Structure 1
């Protein structure tokens, strides 16, 4: 199978890249080469900026692909470009959408691919919905062989998956745990969530590649494991070998008092309980099973990050913000009691 990935080095795509190469796939990555130093041997690099459409058209002029997947498209204009570049040059075009595109708030916490798409809280999600609508139109009117994939919260060894963190990543939350500082958990921590290891995501993704039954379809890929945010934080603290000092804060309050996009990322996504029904994926990919339990995956992630200081990016601004939020909450409690 001859495959082209636009991107190919992110959390989701890197796991797929690794597994495809192990299977002997003829894999090409089209990217600017900024994060290619850790790629496995055997990958073919097309070094280019996908936004330079004329240059990319020349570089792929003599190529035909079985699968093209765009991991870095976030708006309709980018997919219009992809259609011009790859219509007639691939047997399958895979678009990476987002499970955050599903109805928010949900009328039923159990999510299938038939759950309506609507998210008034997050522009990112609305843009993904618009992208899906554009591709469906091209499929219906021009026979463009699309498959739409909706990941939920997917993680790998390079970053600890969390709901509340700063713009520099999640290490500062782990550092607060190690220092026994209060750690903010949105809401009361009992909402349900799903986190999928990228190696498990890759199994489902690869099973959909070259799959004639996936053409024209939308599919989400997640584990069947469901946990609460309290459990997630306890798992992380346990992997760090410390006791969790949790402080629960309203998601609305966090969204109102932070410059981070907590309105989108929390109110439009992680503050809501979600349970994914993967029946459709399992019909399309018989034998699919996510096998990395969250506590196992988190232990691997923590061990990797602790062994790689370059991944321990401190965020003093976020740290100060957390202290201020906790202080204000404590002060409010004393004022009310007083």
Structure 2
């Protein structure tokens, strides 16, 4: 199989790149070359900015691919460009959408690919829906061989999966735990959530590549395991070897007082209970099974980050914001009790 990944070094795509390289796939990555230091042997790089359409067209003019997958397309203009570049040059074009595009609020917590797409809270999700709409039109009208993949919360060894964090990622929350400082959990922490390790996501994704039954289809790829946010934070604390000091804060309050995008990331996504039905994926990829249990995967991630100081990026602004939110809630409670 000859495949081209636009991107190929991010959280979701890096595990796919690794597994394909090990399988002997002829894999090309098209990116700007800023994160290619640890690519597996045999992976070929086409160095370009995908937004420079003419340069990319010149670089791929002598290539045809079995699969093209774009991991960094976020708005309709991106997939419109891809259609111009790859129409007639690939047997399958895979668009990475998002499970956050599913209807919010949900009418049923059990999500299938037939769940309506509608997210009034998050522009990111609405843009992904618009991309899907454009690609499905090209499939229906012009036979463009598309497959739409919807990841949910996918994580790797480089970042601890959380509900509430700042712009510098997850380390500051782990640092607060290590310092026995209170940690904010959105809502009451009892909503169900699904975490998927990128190793497991890669198995499902590779099973869809070159799969004739996946053409014209939309498929989400997630674990079958559901846990509460309270359990997720307890697992993180346990992996760090500390006791969790949790403070539960309503998601609406976090959104209202936040300098961060909690309206989209929480109200439009993580504050909702979601349980995924992966029956469609398993019909298309009969041997798919997610084998990384949440507690095992998070423990591996925490151990990896503790051994790699370069991943421990502090966020004093977020730390101070957490302290202020908790202080305000404590003050309100005292006033009510007076």
**TM-score bracket for this pair, using the shorter chain length:** over 0.9
The match for 1:158 is 158
Structure 1 segments of 4+ aligned residues over 4 angstroms from their partners: none
The whole-number CA distance in structure 2 between the counterparts of 1:304 and 1:87 is 41
- Distance (whole Å) between structure 1 residues aligned to residue 230 and residue 302 of structure 2: 18
TM-score by length of 1: 1.00
- Is 1:26 the counterpart of 2:26 in the alignment? yes
Q: Which whole-Å CA distance do the structure 1 matches of 2:107 and 2:80 have between them?
A: 32
Cα offset, 1:118, TM superposition: 0.2
What is the alpha-carbon distance in structure 2 between the residues aligned to residue 41 and residue 24 of structure 1? 10
More displaced stretch, 38-47 vs 87-96:
38-47
1:1-338 maps to which residues of 2 (within 5 A)?
A: 1-338=1-338
Count of aligned pairs between the two proteins: 338
Q: Deviations over 1:127-163 (max 9, x none)?
A: 0000000000000000000000000000000000101
Q: CA RMSD in A?
A: 0.3
- 1:40 CA drift (Å): 1.2
Residues in 1 aligned to 2:73 and 2:288: alpha-carbon distance in whole angstroms: 26
User: In the TM superposition, what whole-angstrom CA distance separates every residue of 1:268-302 from its partner, at most 9, and x where no partner exists?
Assistant: 00000000000000000001100000000011100
Distance 1:105 1:41 in 2: 45
**Displacement after TM superposition at 1:3 (Å):** 0.3
Give the superposition deviation at 1:95. Answer: 0.1
Matched residue SS, 2:263 = helix
Deviation at 1:42, TM superposition (A): 1.1
Structure 2: distance between partners of 1:87 and 1:176: 50
In 2, Cα distance between the equivalents of 1:15 and 1:296?
A: 17
Q: In structure 1, how many angstroms separate the alpha carbons of the residues matched to 2:119 and 2:281?
A: 23
Q: CA deviation at 1:38?
A: 1.4
**Whole-angstrom CA distance in 2 between matches of 1:81 and 1:125:** 19
Gaps of 5+ in 1: none
TM-score by length of 2: 1.00
* Cα distance in structure 1, aligned partners of 2:28 and 2:48: 12
